[in-house]
Chain A
């Protein structure tokens, strides 16, 4: 199973818009350089989990929201860092996988939250149930880029 990175996003503080980047630097056991969850500035930073250093989201979910629910949600709005294509993220819980040269371990599924509805102003909580992305731990760091392969090991 091989997917690829469609978009990369990060933001330095809670509530701020996510900005698209061509590449991001991942620091093992810390997070993404400059991202809110690497600097304890995220909305959920007071409930730290070692397995929540980087987050992933399927672009297919955005396409399904548009197709099935007429909801336009941009890749900058789901607030996960890595938007992927062609890889089933729900299958990567407890699994090691590579994004480019970086090694990640899927730790648990992300759950929808009210926070994202507040920020987007859209009622998306229910439609994101069971497809709200994946949390992962950074095992081996490095730089990831748009277009990188995502591959289960």
Chain B
């Protein structure tokens, strides 16, 4: 059972078929209350009733808190998440979101921003361009795709005020005009920051082409956002001793959050490793204790799942 009060609750107020595979959705608070703030480049998790969680970049204006927009591309060959999201996100549908998180922010110190998008990787750049337009900051977008019909937001990017800033690169038209990433990197000037979002092959090529540039000026995000590197945390799993059930804990998720996601009830309060409300016995595995209260022998028997993690692949919890 999905607990909406542990999420940002929104309703789908508009849906647009952007391309044959891409639909965009406008999400608002049920009472039109302003939504939590987000920075350009941020994403949210969408959690469906069946437990599927997917990440989508917010592609609306960060300055407008009345709605979020996301774009979902149907991936027939994927794990089924995008199809389930498209199936369930109908106008009027209630949606459970995470707070926006940003692993792909704009770097305000840049004199100029060079944005490279591949396919549905355009989405974080839409919010970035809104902000850059408003700040009158210089930018260039290179948008790569098969052909105009397959590329979402094509019309939006052709608006007059973006003339000279947006370049389209098609791979499957009569006269392909592929982006030359080596040339792009070679033409980068001091003060430029370069960003890439798209499929793995594009990001690999982008990183290879930009390897001679200062690393702190080169940024990328793979589809979904959550795959971006966090604080060095690794994913692992926890096994519930009573049932043998195994639950995966992602890099950006705590054990407590993973348990809640799977509807395993654990009492919790501070969620910061201080109060011990969620203190749980474990039976095997190597724990990285990050709480502020367990000492010596206690650490050999208990862990605090709101903050602590696993140094290996798996922990067995006495649950």
A residues at B contact (CB < 8 Å): 11-17, 19, 36, 40-43, 45-46, 111-115, 117-119, 125
Contacts and interface: CB of A to CB of B under 8 A. Distances in A.
B5 A113 contact: no
A21 B34 CA distance: 15
Interface stretch (B12-20, B218-226, B270-278): B270-278
A105 to B, nearest CB: 22
A114 B33 contact: no
A125 B35 CA distance: 23
A111 B36 contact: no
A82 B99 CA distance: 25
B6 A111 contact: no
B203 to A, nearest CB: 27
A16 B34 contact: yes
7 closest A-B pairs by beta carbon, nearest first, are A114-B271, A114-B272, A15-B8, A14-B5, A125-B272, A16-B33, A41-B5
Contacts of B270: 111-114, 125
B37 interface: yes
Interface of B: 3-9, 29-31, 33-37, 65, 99, 269-272, 274-275, 306
Contacts of A119: 36, 99
Most chain B CB inside 10 Å of its own CB: which residue of A11, A16, A115, A119: A16
23 contacts: A12-B31, A13-B30, A13-B33, A14-B9, A16-B8, A16-B34, A17-B34, A17-B35, A17-B36, A17-B37, A17-B65, A19-B33, A19-B34, A40-B5, A42-B5, A45-B5, A46-B3, A111-B275, A112-B270, A113-B269, A113-B271, A114-B271, A114-B306
Given A43-B5, A114-B270, 11 more contacts: A13-B29, A13-B30, A16-B8, A16-B33, A16-B36, A17-B35, A17-B37, A42-B5, A113-B270, A117-B272, A119-B99
A31 to B, nearest CB: 14
Contact of A12 (B4, B7, B33, B271): B33
B34 A13 contact: no
Contacts of A13: 5, 8-9, 29-30, 33
A72 to B, nearest CB: 15
A115 B8 CA distance: 12
A9 to B, nearest CB: 13
Contacts of A117: 272
B272 A113 contact: yes
Contacts of B8: 13-16
Contacts of B65: 17
B269 A111 contact: yes
A43 B36 contact: no
